[in-house]
A and B are shown apart, each in its own frame.
Chain A
Amino acid sequence: MKPKKEAEMGKKNLKRILLVLFLFFGGTFFNISYLWTEEKLPNSIKDTFEEIRISFHGMWSGPDSPSVMNSSLKRIEPKTQIIIDYARTSDENLKLCANYILNYFDNFIEKFQPGEKIEEKLLKKMKEGILVTEAPTIGLSIYTYLLLELSNIKQDTVFTKEVLSKIYNVCLATSNIFEQFAIYKNPTDLRKKEIEVLKEKEEMMGTSEIFEIAWFCENFMAEAYLSEKTYLPKPAIEIINSYWDWRKEEMIKLKRATCLTIGYYSQTLSYIKKLIEVLPEK
Protein backbone atom coordinates (compact mmCIF):
# COMPACT_ATOMS: atom_id res chain seq x y z
CA MET A 1 0.00 0.00 0.00
CA LYS A 2 2.74 2.40 0.93
CA PRO A 3 4.52 2.48 -2.44
CA LYS A 4 1.14 2.99 -4.22
CA LYS A 5 0.33 5.97 -1.96
CA GLU A 6 3.77 7.40 -2.60
CA ALA A 7 3.28 7.01 -6.33
CA GLU A 8 -0.05 8.85 -6.18
CA MET A 9 1.51 11.63 -4.13
CA GLY A 10 4.33 11.87 -6.68
CA LYS A 11 1.81 12.18 -9.50
CA LYS A 12 -0.08 14.90 -7.66
CA ASN A 13 3.16 16.80 -6.97
CA LEU A 14 4.17 16.51 -10.57
CA LYS A 15 0.81 17.94 -11.63
CA ARG A 16 1.26 20.80 -9.17
CA ILE A 17 4.76 21.54 -10.42
CA LEU A 18 3.56 21.48 -14.02
CA LEU A 19 0.71 23.83 -13.15
CA VAL A 20 3.10 26.28 -11.42
CA LEU A 21 5.49 26.10 -14.37
CA PHE A 22 2.65 26.63 -16.82
CA LEU A 23 1.34 29.62 -14.88
CA PHE A 24 4.83 31.09 -14.54
CA PHE A 25 5.88 30.79 -18.20
CA GLY A 26 2.41 31.49 -19.53
CA GLY A 27 2.13 34.59 -17.38
CA THR A 28 5.56 35.80 -18.40
CA PHE A 29 4.77 35.22 -22.05
CA PHE A 30 1.44 37.02 -21.67
CA ASN A 31 3.13 39.94 -19.91
CA ILE A 32 5.80 40.23 -22.59
CA SER A 33 3.32 40.09 -25.42
CA TYR A 34 1.04 42.55 -23.58
CA LEU A 35 3.88 44.99 -23.04
CA TRP A 36 4.98 44.56 -26.63
CA THR A 37 1.61 45.54 -28.04
CA GLU A 38 0.75 48.09 -25.34
CA GLU A 39 3.86 50.20 -25.12
CA LYS A 40 6.05 49.63 -28.09
CA LEU A 41 6.17 52.09 -30.92
CA PRO A 42 7.32 50.40 -34.15
CA ASN A 43 10.94 51.11 -34.94
CA SER A 44 10.02 52.55 -38.33
CA ILE A 45 7.82 55.16 -36.61
CA LYS A 46 10.55 55.94 -34.09
CA ASP A 47 13.01 56.40 -36.95
CA THR A 48 10.56 58.72 -38.71
CA PHE A 49 10.23 60.81 -35.55
CA GLU A 50 14.00 61.18 -35.40
CA GLU A 51 14.28 62.00 -39.11
CA ILE A 52 11.63 64.69 -38.69
CA ARG A 53 13.40 66.13 -35.65
CA ILE A 54 16.72 66.62 -37.35
CA SER A 55 15.55 67.59 -40.83
CA PHE A 56 12.95 70.29 -40.15
CA HIS A 57 14.59 73.68 -40.68
CA GLY A 58 11.64 75.99 -39.97
CA MET A 59 12.06 79.68 -40.76
CA TRP A 60 15.58 79.14 -42.09
CA SER A 61 15.88 82.32 -44.14
CA GLY A 62 15.54 84.89 -41.43
CA PRO A 63 13.21 86.14 -38.75
CA ASP A 64 11.21 88.32 -41.14
CA SER A 65 9.84 85.46 -43.21
CA PRO A 66 7.72 83.17 -41.09
CA SER A 67 5.77 82.28 -44.23
CA VAL A 68 8.84 80.30 -45.21
CA MET A 69 7.59 77.98 -42.48
CA ASN A 70 4.91 76.82 -44.86
CA SER A 71 7.47 75.73 -47.42
CA SER A 72 9.53 74.01 -44.71
CA LEU A 73 6.42 72.17 -43.54
CA LYS A 74 5.57 71.17 -47.07
CA ARG A 75 9.08 69.82 -47.57
CA ILE A 76 8.76 67.54 -44.57
CA GLU A 77 5.10 66.65 -45.10
CA PRO A 78 5.68 63.12 -46.46
CA LYS A 79 7.32 62.24 -43.14
CA THR A 80 4.90 64.04 -40.82
CA GLN A 81 2.05 62.42 -42.71
CA ILE A 82 3.43 58.96 -41.85
CA ILE A 83 3.10 59.82 -38.13
CA ILE A 84 -0.33 61.36 -38.49
CA ASP A 85 -1.65 58.44 -40.55
CA TYR A 86 -0.27 55.96 -38.03
CA ALA A 87 -1.82 57.89 -35.12
CA ARG A 88 -5.20 58.00 -36.85
CA THR A 89 -5.45 54.21 -37.14
CA SER A 90 -6.28 53.65 -33.44
CA ASP A 91 -6.48 55.36 -30.06
CA GLU A 92 -3.61 53.19 -28.90
CA ASN A 93 -1.39 54.33 -31.76
CA LEU A 94 -2.27 57.95 -31.13
CA LYS A 95 -1.36 57.45 -27.47
CA LEU A 96 1.97 55.88 -28.42
CA CYS A 97 2.85 58.79 -30.71
CA ALA A 98 1.77 61.40 -28.17
CA ASN A 99 3.74 59.67 -25.42
CA TYR A 100 6.85 59.59 -27.60
CA ILE A 101 6.79 63.38 -27.92
CA LEU A 102 5.58 64.05 -24.38
CA ASN A 103 8.42 61.92 -23.00
CA TYR A 104 10.88 63.77 -25.24
CA PHE A 105 9.53 67.08 -23.92
CA ASP A 106 9.61 65.85 -20.31
CA ASN A 107 13.29 64.95 -20.59
CA PHE A 108 14.05 68.31 -22.18
CA ILE A 109 12.10 70.24 -19.51
CA GLU A 110 13.69 68.30 -16.66
CA LYS A 111 17.18 69.01 -17.96
CA PHE A 112 16.82 72.65 -18.97
CA GLN A 113 13.94 74.19 -17.03
CA PRO A 114 14.44 77.63 -15.44
CA GLY A 115 16.80 77.37 -12.50
CA GLU A 116 18.86 74.58 -14.09
CA LYS A 117 22.43 75.48 -14.91
CA ILE A 118 23.34 74.69 -18.48
CA GLU A 119 26.59 72.73 -18.84
CA GLU A 120 29.45 74.79 -20.19
CA LYS A 121 30.32 71.92 -22.52
CA LEU A 122 26.98 72.31 -24.28
CA LEU A 123 27.19 76.11 -24.49
CA LYS A 124 30.70 75.80 -25.96
CA LYS A 125 29.45 73.40 -28.60
CA MET A 126 26.51 75.67 -29.43
CA LYS A 127 28.93 78.53 -29.93
CA GLU A 128 31.50 76.64 -31.95
CA GLY A 129 29.28 74.33 -33.99
CA ILE A 130 27.22 71.50 -32.57
CA LEU A 131 26.05 68.39 -34.39
CA VAL A 132 22.40 68.64 -35.23
CA THR A 133 21.69 65.35 -33.43
CA GLU A 134 23.19 66.73 -30.19
CA ALA A 135 21.56 70.17 -30.29
CA PRO A 136 18.88 69.99 -27.59
CA THR A 137 16.47 72.54 -29.06
CA ILE A 138 16.42 71.10 -32.57
CA GLY A 139 13.09 69.50 -33.36
CA LEU A 140 11.08 71.11 -30.57
CA SER A 141 8.99 73.16 -32.94
CA ILE A 142 8.13 70.37 -35.38
CA TYR A 143 7.31 68.09 -32.44
CA THR A 144 5.01 70.88 -31.19
CA TYR A 145 3.31 70.84 -34.58
CA LEU A 146 2.82 67.06 -34.40
CA LEU A 147 1.55 67.19 -30.84
CA LEU A 148 -1.01 69.86 -31.73
CA GLU A 149 -2.10 67.78 -34.73
CA LEU A 150 -2.57 64.78 -32.44
CA SER A 151 -4.53 66.97 -30.07
CA ASN A 152 -6.84 67.99 -32.93
CA ILE A 153 -7.39 64.33 -33.78
CA LYS A 154 -8.02 63.27 -30.18
CA GLN A 155 -10.32 66.21 -29.37
CA ASP A 156 -10.00 65.79 -25.63
CA THR A 157 -9.77 68.86 -23.39
CA VAL A 158 -7.69 67.16 -20.68
CA PHE A 159 -5.19 65.95 -23.25
CA THR A 160 -5.07 69.39 -24.90
CA LYS A 161 -4.36 70.97 -21.53
CA GLU A 162 -1.47 68.55 -20.99
CA VAL A 163 -0.14 69.22 -24.48
CA LEU A 164 -0.28 73.00 -24.15
CA SER A 165 1.30 72.89 -20.68
CA LYS A 166 4.20 70.83 -21.98
CA ILE A 167 4.66 73.16 -24.94
CA TYR A 168 4.67 76.21 -22.68
CA ASN A 169 7.24 74.62 -20.35
CA VAL A 170 9.39 73.66 -23.34
CA CYS A 171 9.46 77.36 -24.27
CA LEU A 172 10.50 78.34 -20.74
CA ALA A 173 13.29 75.76 -20.80
CA THR A 174 14.43 76.92 -24.25
CA SER A 175 14.54 80.48 -23.00
CA ASN A 176 16.67 79.34 -20.05
CA ILE A 177 19.21 77.78 -22.42
CA PHE A 178 19.50 80.92 -24.52
CA GLU A 179 19.65 83.28 -21.53
CA GLN A 180 22.73 81.37 -20.36
CA PHE A 181 24.04 81.08 -23.92
CA ALA A 182 23.83 84.88 -24.30
CA ILE A 183 25.85 85.42 -21.12
CA TYR A 184 28.31 82.70 -22.10
CA LYS A 185 28.94 84.34 -25.46
CA ASN A 186 29.14 87.82 -24.05
CA PRO A 187 29.75 87.79 -20.29
CA THR A 188 29.37 91.53 -19.73
CA ASP A 189 27.42 93.46 -17.08
CA LEU A 190 25.23 94.81 -19.84
CA ARG A 191 24.21 91.33 -20.99
CA LYS A 192 23.58 90.20 -17.41
CA LYS A 193 21.44 93.30 -16.91
CA GLU A 194 19.44 92.50 -20.07
CA ILE A 195 18.71 89.00 -18.83
CA GLU A 196 17.70 90.38 -15.41
CA VAL A 197 15.30 92.83 -17.07
CA LEU A 198 13.84 89.98 -19.13
CA LYS A 199 13.25 87.91 -16.02
CA GLU A 200 11.74 90.85 -14.12
CA LYS A 201 9.26 91.28 -16.97
CA GLU A 202 8.63 87.51 -16.87
CA GLU A 203 9.32 87.34 -20.58
CA MET A 204 11.04 84.63 -22.56
CA MET A 205 14.13 85.21 -24.62
CA GLY A 206 13.30 85.28 -28.32
CA THR A 207 14.82 82.45 -30.30
CA SER A 208 13.91 80.84 -33.62
CA GLU A 209 12.72 77.75 -31.77
CA ILE A 210 10.24 79.79 -29.69
CA PHE A 211 9.14 81.91 -32.68
CA GLU A 212 8.33 78.72 -34.56
CA ILE A 213 6.50 77.17 -31.62
CA ALA A 214 4.45 80.37 -31.24
CA TRP A 215 3.63 80.22 -34.96
CA PHE A 216 2.31 76.66 -34.60
CA CYS A 217 0.34 77.68 -31.50
CA GLU A 218 -1.21 80.52 -33.45
CA ASN A 219 -2.20 78.11 -36.21
CA PHE A 220 -3.77 75.85 -33.58
CA MET A 221 -5.83 78.78 -32.28
CA ALA A 222 -6.72 79.80 -35.83
CA GLU A 223 -8.10 76.33 -36.53
CA ALA A 224 -10.21 76.42 -33.35
CA TYR A 225 -11.40 79.94 -34.20
CA LEU A 226 -12.43 79.03 -37.72
CA SER A 227 -14.01 75.64 -37.06
CA GLU A 228 -17.77 75.55 -36.70
CA LYS A 229 -17.76 72.70 -34.22
CA THR A 230 -15.13 72.52 -31.53
CA TYR A 231 -14.49 70.28 -28.56
CA LEU A 232 -12.97 73.15 -26.57
CA PRO A 233 -15.09 74.55 -23.73
CA LYS A 234 -16.63 78.01 -23.87
CA PRO A 235 -14.02 79.79 -21.66
CA ALA A 236 -11.25 78.50 -23.98
CA ILE A 237 -13.12 79.68 -27.05
CA GLU A 238 -13.56 83.11 -25.48
CA ILE A 239 -9.80 83.36 -24.99
CA ILE A 240 -9.18 82.30 -28.57
CA ASN A 241 -11.71 84.85 -29.82
CA SER A 242 -10.04 87.62 -27.83
CA TYR A 243 -6.68 86.57 -29.27
CA TRP A 244 -8.05 86.98 -32.79
CA ASP A 245 -9.61 90.31 -31.95
CA TRP A 246 -6.18 91.49 -30.87
CA ARG A 247 -4.48 89.95 -33.90
CA LYS A 248 -6.92 91.55 -36.32
CA GLU A 249 -6.17 94.95 -34.82
CA GLU A 250 -2.45 94.29 -35.13
CA MET A 251 -2.83 93.13 -38.72
CA ILE A 252 -4.81 96.22 -39.62
CA LYS A 253 -2.08 98.37 -38.09
CA LEU A 254 0.52 96.49 -40.10
CA LYS A 255 -1.59 96.41 -43.25
CA ARG A 256 -0.82 92.74 -43.66
CA ALA A 257 -2.94 89.72 -43.21
CA THR A 258 -0.60 86.92 -44.06
CA CYS A 259 1.58 85.91 -41.19
CA LEU A 260 2.91 86.37 -37.75
CA THR A 261 5.98 88.48 -37.24
CA ILE A 262 8.29 87.39 -34.50
CA GLY A 263 7.38 90.46 -32.46
CA TYR A 264 4.27 88.68 -31.22
CA TYR A 265 5.66 85.48 -29.83
CA SER A 266 5.31 86.71 -26.22
CA GLN A 267 1.67 87.67 -26.68
CA THR A 268 0.82 84.44 -28.51
CA LEU A 269 2.35 82.36 -25.73
CA SER A 270 0.63 84.46 -23.06
CA TYR A 271 -2.70 83.44 -24.63
CA ILE A 272 -1.58 79.81 -24.57
CA LYS A 273 -0.92 80.24 -20.85
CA LYS A 274 -4.46 81.59 -20.40
CA LEU A 275 -5.84 78.60 -22.32
CA ILE A 276 -3.98 76.18 -20.05
CA GLU A 277 -5.56 77.87 -17.03
CA VAL A 278 -9.14 77.48 -18.25
CA LEU A 279 -8.93 73.95 -19.63
CA PRO A 280 -10.12 71.28 -17.16
CA GLU A 281 -7.69 69.07 -15.23
CA LYS A 282 -9.79 65.91 -15.45
Chain B
Amino acid sequence: MDRKCFKKVILFFFGFLFLVSIQLQADNSCYFLFWGRRAGGSEYPIWKEFYKYEDPSQDTCYRGMPWCTKTQHNNVKLKHYHFTENFTSTEKEDMNRYAEYHWGDDFDSKFSDADSTYNCHSWALGPNQTVWNVNQDTTLSNDFVEVSGTCGDPYKVGQYCKHLDDHSSRITELFFSTGSPGSAVKKIRSKWGGYGIYDGCSNPSAYGNVVKIYKRK
Protein backbone atom coordinates (compact mmCIF):
# COMPACT_ATOMS: atom_id res chain seq x y z
CA MET B 1 0.00 0.00 0.00
CA ASP B 2 1.49 3.37 -0.92
CA ARG B 3 1.64 6.30 1.49
CA LYS B 4 -1.22 8.26 -0.08
CA CYS B 5 -3.54 5.32 0.05
CA PHE B 6 -2.59 4.62 3.66
CA LYS B 7 -3.34 8.23 4.62
CA LYS B 8 -6.74 8.00 2.94
CA VAL B 9 -7.58 4.81 4.82
CA ILE B 10 -6.56 6.36 8.15
CA LEU B 11 -8.53 9.52 7.40
CA PHE B 12 -11.58 7.50 6.39
CA PHE B 13 -11.29 5.35 9.53
CA PHE B 14 -11.16 8.30 11.93
CA GLY B 15 -13.87 10.12 10.00
CA PHE B 16 -16.07 7.06 10.32
CA LEU B 17 -15.33 6.79 14.06
CA PHE B 18 -16.17 10.48 14.52
CA LEU B 19 -19.49 10.11 12.73
CA VAL B 20 -20.36 6.98 14.69
CA SER B 21 -19.51 8.68 17.99
CA ILE B 22 -21.68 11.68 17.10
CA GLN B 23 -24.54 9.40 16.13
CA LEU B 24 -24.18 7.44 19.36
CA GLN B 25 -24.19 10.59 21.39
CA ALA B 26 -27.01 12.29 19.52
CA ASP B 27 -29.66 12.28 22.16
CA ASN B 28 -32.31 14.81 23.03
CA SER B 29 -31.44 17.16 25.81
CA CYS B 30 -34.18 18.83 27.85
CA TYR B 31 -34.30 21.82 30.14
CA PHE B 32 -35.76 21.88 33.58
CA LEU B 33 -36.82 25.08 35.26
CA PHE B 34 -35.87 25.61 38.90
CA TRP B 35 -36.40 28.78 40.93
CA GLY B 36 -34.04 30.95 42.93
CA ARG B 37 -34.74 33.77 45.36
CA ARG B 38 -32.28 36.61 45.83
CA ALA B 39 -31.58 38.23 49.19
CA GLY B 40 -33.68 41.23 48.11
CA GLY B 41 -36.71 38.97 47.61
CA SER B 42 -36.85 38.85 43.80
CA GLU B 43 -37.29 35.41 42.31
CA TYR B 44 -35.82 34.19 39.03
CA PRO B 45 -35.84 31.11 36.79
CA ILE B 46 -32.86 28.79 36.52
CA TRP B 47 -32.81 26.35 33.59
CA LYS B 48 -30.63 23.24 33.78
CA GLU B 49 -30.03 20.69 31.09
CA PHE B 50 -30.80 17.01 31.46
CA TYR B 51 -31.20 13.90 29.34
CA LYS B 52 -34.03 11.47 29.91
CA TYR B 53 -33.81 7.70 29.59
CA GLU B 54 -37.29 6.30 29.71
CA ASP B 55 -37.09 3.36 27.36
CA PRO B 56 -35.71 0.33 29.21
CA SER B 57 -35.72 -1.66 25.97
CA GLN B 58 -32.55 0.32 25.13
CA ASP B 59 -29.19 -1.11 26.24
CA THR B 60 -27.39 2.16 26.67
CA CYS B 61 -28.11 5.48 28.32
CA TYR B 62 -26.16 8.70 28.75
CA ARG B 63 -23.47 9.14 26.09
CA GLY B 64 -23.78 5.50 25.02
CA MET B 65 -22.82 4.09 28.44
CA PRO B 66 -24.34 0.78 29.56
CA TRP B 67 -27.73 1.36 31.27
CA CYS B 68 -26.57 2.82 34.59
CA THR B 69 -29.59 2.53 36.90
CA LYS B 70 -30.96 -0.92 37.70
CA THR B 71 -32.61 -2.39 40.78
CA GLN B 72 -30.28 -4.34 43.08
CA HIS B 73 -32.57 -7.35 42.97
CA ASN B 74 -33.47 -8.74 39.54
CA ASN B 75 -31.47 -6.05 37.68
CA VAL B 76 -34.58 -4.31 36.38
CA LYS B 77 -33.72 -1.25 34.31
CA LEU B 78 -35.07 1.93 35.87
CA LYS B 79 -36.15 5.05 34.04
CA HIS B 80 -33.85 7.89 34.96
CA TYR B 81 -32.55 11.35 34.05
CA HIS B 82 -28.98 12.63 33.82
CA PHE B 83 -28.53 16.28 34.67
CA THR B 84 -25.44 17.57 32.92
CA GLU B 85 -25.19 20.88 34.76
CA ASN B 86 -25.10 21.58 38.45
CA PHE B 87 -26.02 24.84 40.16
CA THR B 88 -23.48 27.61 40.72
CA SER B 89 -22.76 28.57 44.32
CA THR B 90 -24.97 31.67 43.97
CA GLU B 91 -27.78 29.61 42.50
CA LYS B 92 -27.49 27.10 45.35
CA GLU B 93 -27.71 29.89 47.89
CA ASP B 94 -30.73 31.40 46.11
CA MET B 95 -32.44 28.01 45.78
CA ASN B 96 -31.95 27.36 49.49
CA ARG B 97 -33.52 30.75 50.14
CA TYR B 98 -36.41 29.96 47.79
CA ALA B 99 -37.12 26.62 49.52
CA GLU B 100 -36.89 28.21 52.95
CA TYR B 101 -39.28 30.99 51.92
CA HIS B 102 -41.91 28.77 50.32
CA TRP B 103 -41.76 25.59 52.35
CA GLY B 104 -40.06 26.76 55.53
CA ASP B 105 -43.03 25.51 57.57
CA ASP B 106 -42.32 21.97 56.35
CA PHE B 107 -38.65 22.05 57.37
CA ASP B 108 -36.81 22.00 60.68
CA SER B 109 -33.34 22.25 59.25
CA LYS B 110 -31.32 21.97 56.09
CA PHE B 111 -29.13 18.91 55.81
CA SER B 112 -27.48 19.77 52.48
CA ASP B 113 -27.58 22.36 49.69
CA ALA B 114 -29.49 22.30 46.42
CA ASP B 115 -27.96 19.82 43.97
CA SER B 116 -29.20 18.99 40.48
CA THR B 117 -27.46 15.62 40.21
CA TYR B 118 -29.94 13.48 42.18
CA ASN B 119 -33.53 13.59 43.42
CA CYS B 120 -35.64 12.33 46.34
CA HIS B 121 -35.97 8.74 45.10
CA SER B 122 -32.29 8.28 44.32
CA TRP B 123 -31.30 9.88 47.63
CA ALA B 124 -33.70 7.82 49.76
CA LEU B 125 -33.98 4.59 47.77
CA GLY B 126 -31.01 4.53 45.41
CA PRO B 127 -29.72 2.63 43.56
CA ASN B 128 -27.67 5.34 41.82
CA GLN B 129 -27.13 8.67 43.54
CA THR B 130 -25.62 10.38 40.51
CA VAL B 131 -28.85 10.44 38.49
CA TRP B 132 -32.56 11.08 39.02
CA ASN B 133 -34.43 7.85 39.65
CA VAL B 134 -37.93 8.38 38.23
CA ASN B 135 -39.18 4.85 38.83
CA GLN B 136 -40.20 4.88 42.48
CA ASP B 137 -42.69 1.98 42.26
CA THR B 138 -40.35 -0.39 40.42
CA THR B 139 -37.53 0.41 42.84
CA LEU B 140 -39.76 -0.22 45.85
CA SER B 141 -41.25 -3.44 44.52
CA ASN B 142 -37.85 -4.94 43.66
CA ASP B 143 -35.51 -3.78 46.42
CA PHE B 144 -37.88 -3.14 49.34
CA VAL B 145 -40.67 -4.81 51.29
CA GLU B 146 -43.55 -3.03 52.94
CA VAL B 147 -43.53 -2.88 56.74
CA SER B 148 -46.85 -3.81 58.27
CA GLY B 149 -46.59 -1.58 61.36
CA THR B 150 -47.55 -4.31 63.81
CA CYS B 151 -45.81 -5.51 66.98
CA GLY B 152 -44.32 -8.33 64.90
CA ASP B 153 -43.11 -5.98 62.19
CA PRO B 154 -42.81 -2.51 63.72
CA TYR B 155 -41.71 0.75 62.05
CA LYS B 156 -38.15 1.87 62.80
CA VAL B 157 -36.06 5.00 62.34
CA GLY B 158 -34.13 4.67 59.08
CA GLN B 159 -36.94 2.99 57.19
CA TYR B 160 -38.28 4.43 53.96
CA CYS B 161 -41.48 6.31 53.29
CA LYS B 162 -43.60 6.58 50.18
CA HIS B 163 -45.65 9.77 50.19
CA LEU B 164 -49.01 10.46 48.64
CA ASP B 165 -47.59 12.31 45.65
CA ASP B 166 -44.44 10.70 44.26
CA HIS B 167 -42.01 11.47 47.01
CA SER B 168 -39.57 9.27 48.93
CA SER B 169 -38.03 9.98 52.33
CA ARG B 170 -36.34 8.31 55.29
CA ILE B 171 -37.79 8.26 58.81
CA THR B 172 -35.79 10.21 61.37
CA GLU B 173 -38.28 10.15 64.24
CA LEU B 174 -41.39 8.14 65.13
CA PHE B 175 -44.51 8.84 67.15
CA PHE B 176 -45.37 5.14 67.34
CA SER B 177 -43.80 1.95 66.02
CA THR B 178 -47.18 0.54 65.07
CA GLY B 179 -50.39 1.84 63.54
CA SER B 180 -51.06 3.60 60.27
CA PRO B 181 -48.00 5.02 58.47
CA GLY B 182 -49.35 8.57 58.40
CA SER B 183 -49.86 8.81 62.13
CA ALA B 184 -46.74 6.84 63.13
CA VAL B 185 -44.06 8.95 61.47
CA LYS B 186 -43.08 12.18 63.16
CA LYS B 187 -40.11 13.40 61.16
CA ILE B 188 -38.45 12.58 57.89
CA ARG B 189 -35.32 13.50 55.95
CA SER B 190 -35.75 14.00 52.23
CA LYS B 191 -34.32 15.63 49.14
CA TRP B 192 -36.72 18.05 47.51
CA GLY B 193 -36.16 17.37 43.84
CA GLY B 194 -33.28 19.56 42.74
CA TYR B 195 -33.35 21.51 45.99
CA GLY B 196 -31.54 20.47 49.16
CA ILE B 197 -31.98 17.70 51.71
CA TYR B 198 -34.17 18.80 54.60
CA ASP B 199 -35.27 17.41 57.92
CA GLY B 200 -38.89 18.12 58.52
CA CYS B 201 -42.44 17.09 59.20
CA SER B 202 -43.78 13.82 57.84
CA ASN B 203 -46.45 15.39 55.67
CA PRO B 204 -44.77 18.14 53.65
CA SER B 205 -47.45 20.23 51.97
CA ALA B 206 -46.27 19.70 48.42
CA TYR B 207 -45.69 15.96 48.62
CA GLY B 208 -48.44 14.80 50.93
CA ASN B 209 -48.68 12.45 53.82
CA VAL B 210 -46.73 9.22 54.34
CA VAL B 211 -48.85 6.43 52.84
CA LYS B 212 -46.55 3.39 53.08
CA ILE B 213 -43.38 2.44 54.89
CA TYR B 214 -40.70 0.08 53.56
CA LYS B 215 -37.53 -1.67 54.66
CA ARG B 216 -34.72 -2.86 52.44
CA LYS B 217 -34.87 -6.50 51.31
Contacts and interface: CB of A to CB of B under 8 A. Distances in A.
Contacts of A152: none
Interface residues of A, number: 46
Contacts of B34: 60
Contacts of A186: 49
Nearest to A57: B35
Interface in B165-211: 165-167, 192-195, 205-207
A135 B133 CA distance: 30
B125 interface: no
Give the contact-size bracket for chain B: 35 or more
Nearest to B167: A65
Contacts of B192: 61
A64 B44 contact: no
A81 interface: no
Contacts of A130: 44-45
A208 B32 contact: yes
B166 A67 contact: yes
Contacts of B120: 62
Interface in A182-227: 182, 185-186, 189-191, 193-194, 197-198, 203, 205-209
B119 A182 contact: no
A89 interface: no
Contacts of A61: 192-195, 206
A132 B30 contact: no
B137 interface: yes
B81 A205 contact: no
B138 interface: yes
Given A62-B132, A64-B81, A262 B33 contact: no
B49 A185 contact: yes
A197 B22 CA distance: 11
A209 B47 CA distance: 11
Interface in A118-133: 126, 129-132
B121 A182 contact: no
A258 B163 CA distance: 13
A280 interface: no
Nearest to B22: A193
| Most B-side CB within 10 Å, residue of A58, A63, A67, A182 | A63
Contacts of B207: 65, 68
Interface string B78-97: 01010000000000000000
Contacts of B22: 189-190, 193
11 contacts: A63-B30, A63-B32, A67-B166, A71-B206, A193-B26, A198-B28, A205-B29, A206-B28, A208-B32, A255-B138, A263-B79
Minimum-distance CB pairs A-B, first 9: A62-B193, A61-B193, A206-B30, A208-B33, A67-B165, A263-B54, A64-B134, A207-B31, A71-B206
